[in-house]
């Protein structure tokens, strides 16, 4: 049978991945250039990992600065009920999936300058293959290939557990929990949630809120975690002191800390961070953000197992790094052990005919991708582009945080020296806080004093961060 020649298409930018970063990049590029963009993704709909997320997932931080630059997400309201009461709304997973679907079908593709190819696997060298027909398409890329998958998260529904599971053991991802009614069986006598990250926290909170007895939940926590206080992430004037004043407090912590441990205790003392168990010193910080009410729910779960990671699930017992735990035979294990961010080294964002999307401001991947697109559109020299877009390494342990913050602050300093970029950031909905600062009245003595304190402490922080990062690395 003769081989079928691949079809050939032309484009300026081939974006691999239609998740949060790929779409934020394409959206900004559409506004800032006249380029044509081709988007390829293995999912059937846009949104990347949101297609695979558990049904009760929400954003960690307000909808107001998530998504893409051109299109508002949510209504801008505060929640009046629930654990997020009094804080700005958090989009649900289905809401985010619908947002991205509408973005592609109502804005990007109708522009005539974006082609979208779902259910396709990118094979490299400008070639992708349909997962349904096997048909191959060769893309002639005039400018750059954009890798929007380099820091793609792993999610429970698609990852493979790293531990052994014996026959007869009931293990499910959190996605399965809302459908337990369909099993037509008595509820399990114990829910055992595996993992200490935000997915596990969401799962524990959902179980309690949905009616599970907190005393019927076991939570396996290999490492306790520091958590961002969501109150400090609210992009509205009534939270100015908590947000900008809080930033000044954080800069003071970076300026005065003598070690990683001292830094995190100072960040807790100023209200920037919190922890579930006040008697335990956390060993992890993955930037998870919580409302105070969520922490209170998590504290109701008293059966917390701290024996390291799970090695095997067997009939009647869990085997962990540092011991074994007996479990009822009908225990339902919930696997929340997928790593939110894979451990990958940073690399230059701009690499000749290739762009590798990475965070340039912690912890905002969508804003970072949009800013990279703006730099690509308005700057020609690759060295200058990479100077403006220094990649920020995700902090996989506590010692990484000082270095990640230092890179973020250096990037922000470079942006502040570029008038056009500074203007774009101030008007970007993804920035979240530029308009909050820009809106301060010159005659408002209190808020001007807060801003002055922030600037003063930021300078002091930059003086101490290299030492903190160096001590952590030594």
Query: Distance of CA 282 to CAs 178, 204, 348, Å?
Result: 30, 18, 32
For 164, 334, 395, 474, the CA distances from 403, given in Å and listed in that order, are: 36, 34, 8, 13
Q: What pLDDT, on the 0 to 100 scale, is given for residue 207?
A: 98
**Tokens 């008595």, located at residue:** 186
Q: What is the pLDDT along the chain (474 residues), one digit of tens a residue?
A: 455 677 999 999 999 999 999 999 999 999 999 999 999 999 999 999 999 999 999 999 999 999 999 999 999 999 999 999 999 999 999 999 999 999 999 999 999 999 999 999 999 999 999 999 999 999 999 999 999 999 887 777 788 899 999 999 999 999 999 999 887 788 899 999 999 999 999 999 999 999 999 999 999 999 999 999 999 999 999 999 999 999 999 999 999 999 999 999 999 999 999 999 999 999 999 999 999 999 999 999 999 999 999 999 999 999 999 999 999 999 999 999 987 777 889 999 999 999 999 999 999 999 999 999 999 999 999 999 999 999 999 998 899 999 999 999 999 999 999 999 999 999 999 998 888 898 899 999 999 999 999 999 999 999 999 999 886 555
CATH code reported for the domain at 7-153+342-415? 3.40.50.720
Q: What is the pLDDT of residue 141?
A: 98
Taking the whole predicted model, whether its pTM rises above 0.75 is answered as: yes
The phi and psi torsions of 442 (rounded to 5 degrees) equal: -60, -25
At residue 438, the pLDDT reads 87
pLDDT reported for residue 422: 95
pLDDT in tens, 176-220: 999 998 877 888 999 999 999 999 999 999 999 999 999 999 999
Tokens standing for 48?
Answer: 């990347």
pLDDT of residue 116: 98
Q: Where are the domains of the chain?
A: 7-153+342-415, 164-335
């Amino acid at each position: 049978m003769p081989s079928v020649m691949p079809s050939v298409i032309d484009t300026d930018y081939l974006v691999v991945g239609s998740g949060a970063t790929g779409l934020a990049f394409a959206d900004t590029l559409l506004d800032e250039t006249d380029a044509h963009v081709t988007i390829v993704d293995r999912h059937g709909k846009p949104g990347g990992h949101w297609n695979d997320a558990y049904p009760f997932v929400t954003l960690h931080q307000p909808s107001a600065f998530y998504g893409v630059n051109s299109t508002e997400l949510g209504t801008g309201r505060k929640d009046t009920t629930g654990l997020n009461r009094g804080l700005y709304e958090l989009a649900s997973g289905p809401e985010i999936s619908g947002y991205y679907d509408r973005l592609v079908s109502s804005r990007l593709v109708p522009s005539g300058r974006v082609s979208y190819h779902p259910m396709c696997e990118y094979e490299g060298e400008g070639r992708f293959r349909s997962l349904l027909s096997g048909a191959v398409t060769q893309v002639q890329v005039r400018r750059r290939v954009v890798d929007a998958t380099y820091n793609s998260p792993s999610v429970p529904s698609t990852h493979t557990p790293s531990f052994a599971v014996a026959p007869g053991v009931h293990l499910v991802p959190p996605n399965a929990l809302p459908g337990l009614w369909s099993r037509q069986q008595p509820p399990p006598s114990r829910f055992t949630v595996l993992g200490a990250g935000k997915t596990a926290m969401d799962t524990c909170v959902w179980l309690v809120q949905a009616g599970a007895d907190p005393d019927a939940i076991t939570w396996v926590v290999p490492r306790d975690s520091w958590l961002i206080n969501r109150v400090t992430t609210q992009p509205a004037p009534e939270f100015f002191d908590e947000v900008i004043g809080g930033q000044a407090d954080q800069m003071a912590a970076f300026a005065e800390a003598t070690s990683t441990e001292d830094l995190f205790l100072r960040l807790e003392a100023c209200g920037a961070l919190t922890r579930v168990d006040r008697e335990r010193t956390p060993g992890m910080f993955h930037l998870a953000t919580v409302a105070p009410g969520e922490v209170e729910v998590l504290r109701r779960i008293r059966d917390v197992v701290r024996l390291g990671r799970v090695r095997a699930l067997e009939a009647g017992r869990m085997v962990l790094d540092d011991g074994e735990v007996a479990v009822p035979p009908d225990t339902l294990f919930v696997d929340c052990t997928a790593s939110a961010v894979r451990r990958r080294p940073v690399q230059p964002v701009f690499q000749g005919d290739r762009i590798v999307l990475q965070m340039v401001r912690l912890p905002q991947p969508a804003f970072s991708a949009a800013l990279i697109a703006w730099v690509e559109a308005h700057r020609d020299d690759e060295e200058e582009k990479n100077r403006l877009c220094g990649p920020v390494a995700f902090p996989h342990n506590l010692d990484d945080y000082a270095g990640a913050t230092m890179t973020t602050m250096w990037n922000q300093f470079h942006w502040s020296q570029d008038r056009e970029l500074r203007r774009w950031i101030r008007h970007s909905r993804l920035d979240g806080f530029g308009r909050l600062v820009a809106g301060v009245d010159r005659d408002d003595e209190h808020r001007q004093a807060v801003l002055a304190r922030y600037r003063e402490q930021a300078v002091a922080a930059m003086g101490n961060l290299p030492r903190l990062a160096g001590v952590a690395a030594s």
